Amino acid sequence: MPFLPDDYLPYLEYLPDLQKCANIFMTFTPLFSYGSTCYSIHRTKSSSGFSLDICCTMLMASILRVYYYMCSPFEITLLRQSIVMIFIQCILLKVGLKYRSQGYDPDFLTPMPVFQLELTSRVPRRMSSAHAMKHETYWMGDWLSSVKLIMRDCYKFTQGYLSVLFISALRFFDVYFQRPGHFWQWKHEKPYWVFVVSFMGFFATCTLFLHSNTTYASTIGILGLFIESLLPLPQILLLNRLKSVENFKVILLLSWLGGDCIKISYLLYGTNDISIIFILAGLFQMSLDIYIATQYIQFKYGKHEQDIPLQDRSIDDIVFSMLEEQKSPTDTT
């Protein structure tokens, strides 16, 4: 038995194509998600709680995606979405800078800790140059015990080195630390636009001469996806430091999560001409957005410590506490 009578079948031709509707919706999704954030910042006259690094991330990723299309064409809808994203991010950057705190000065931010000093505090004393006068011997009386001690210290040195390296990389996304050259922390508006235009011009020149080079196309494609997948990271670190979501726009979080679901569904079922790397990058970004959702619930409705000074609330505390929990009392040297 047919679902509709035959008399109604001719009228189906007047219904819009679902594929075209999905393509149009995907194209203008950035306007809905980030447009609401622009309006919220303009209405409250404050961009506090919103990380301007989001604009930097999406501008770089979208620009690279446009150039990647010129080298290796993919689904045209994603190209249109990238162009719309560049447009709305420029507006969001303009609004965010306009309503940034009047007293903002990057010179007052916390300087980056010295890598060597941090590493010294995390490695065994026997392997630290800071304790050269107090070095202990590795000879334990027999070869087996000595080798075990060396292997244990090598493991602890590797763990300490990787943890300090990981935290140093995360600090680059933490808006409370000074970045090299105050990158994307400039006091005035002009350097932001100079960087955006220079970034576009540099890769436009490279694409003009290397558009037929497969290695170059793969490089900018992967780089763009990697940058975009890190989009929620600055906001995660900002919320972790503030321990509050007072000025965080929940509509932005909902638009991120909704956009992730729509994008992944579209990549899986809405098109055939797509690479697996797009799907993996989307899943990674969605996992970070879910983490922000847990942060929002925790800081909005849960109990958290209030006696920690603001300047001491950073990603360092989390990573180092996790490492300390893994330490056994016998590992202390």
| 192 band by pLDDT with thresholds 50, 70 and 90 | very high
- pLDDT mean over 71-87: 88
Tokens of 177: 């630390």
How large is the average pLDDT for residues 54-67? 93
- Please tell me the least confidently modeled range out of 98-112, 140-154, 197-211, 317-331: 317-331
Taking only the tens place, the pLDDT of each residue in 236-280 is 887 887 787 766 767 778 877 877 887 787 677 766 666 677 777
Task: Supply the pTM of this predicted model.
Answer: 0.72
CB atoms within 10 A of CB 315: 18
Instruction: Give the residue among 318, 321, 319 at the shortest CA–CA distance from 164.
Output: 319
> Could you state, in order of their start, the residue ranges of all structural domains in the chain?
20-107+178-302
Most trustworthy range by pLDDT among 24-38, 66-80, 154-168, 265-279: 66-80
Angle at CA of residue 207, ends 201 and 211, nearest 5°? 170
Nearest 10 degrees: Cα torsion 318, 321, 322, 324? 160
The residue whose two tokens read 């969001």 is 92
Element housing 285 (H / E)? helix 276-301
- Displacement of CA 153 from its chain's centroid (Å): 33
Which amino acid is located at 306 in the chain?
Answer: Q
Determine contact, residues 84/27, Cβ cutoff 8 Å. Answer: yes
> Is pLDDT above 60 for 34?
yes
Measured distance CA(52)–CA(263) in Å, rounded: 23
Is a pLDDT exceeding 90 seen at residue 199?
yes
Higher pLDDT, 134 or 268: 268
How high is the pLDDT of residue 6? 59
The fraction of the chain above a pLDDT of 90, given in percent, is: 20
**Average model confidence (pLDDT) for the chain?**
78
Which DSSP category does 7 fall into?
Answer: G
Share above pLDDT 70 across residues of the chain, in percent, rounded to a whole number: 76
Length of the chain: 333
Average pLDDT over residues 71-93: 90
Which segment of 8-12, 40-44, 45-49, 80-84 scores lowest on mean pLDDT?
8-12
Strand partners, 177: 110
